[in-house]
Amino acid sequence: MQWPLVKIRWIDSCEPYAGWVRLDSLAPPASLECVSVGFIIEDGDRAKTIVPHVTFPVTENAQGCGIMMIPSASILSIERLG
């Protein structure tokens, strides 16, 4: 495989309230930690892009599904799996 397989732990963004909310009554929500596993196909300074599903065998016409771009500022750790 031409891309490394990684596990990324990251903090997700969210919209914790629906509709109009009084700002003086807000309670900060707990952060939502996520784990994603996939082949890292772009390893940029500002973001990492992973794809968990890849057609096989991998050729120049390979296709991927479930592609996710995670901002580097949200990443807690990256562990290489393969």
Higher-confidence residue of 71 and 29: namely 71
Q: Are 35 and 8 in contact (CB under 8 A)?
A: yes
Which of 2.30.30, 2.30.38, 1.10.3430, 2.60.40 would CATH assign to domain 1-12+32-82? 2.30.30
User: What integer pLDDT is reported at residue 10 of this predicted model?
Assistant: 98
What pLDDT digit, counting tens, does each position of 22-69 carry?
888 888 888 899 999 999 999 999 999 999 999 988 888 889 999 999
Give domain limits for the chain: 1-12+32-82
Going by pLDDT thresholds of 50, 70 and 90, the confidence category of residue 1 is low
Q: Which amino acid is at 61?
A: N
Cis bond upstream, residue 28 (ω within 30): no
Handedness of CA 39, 41, 45, 46 (dihedral sign): negative
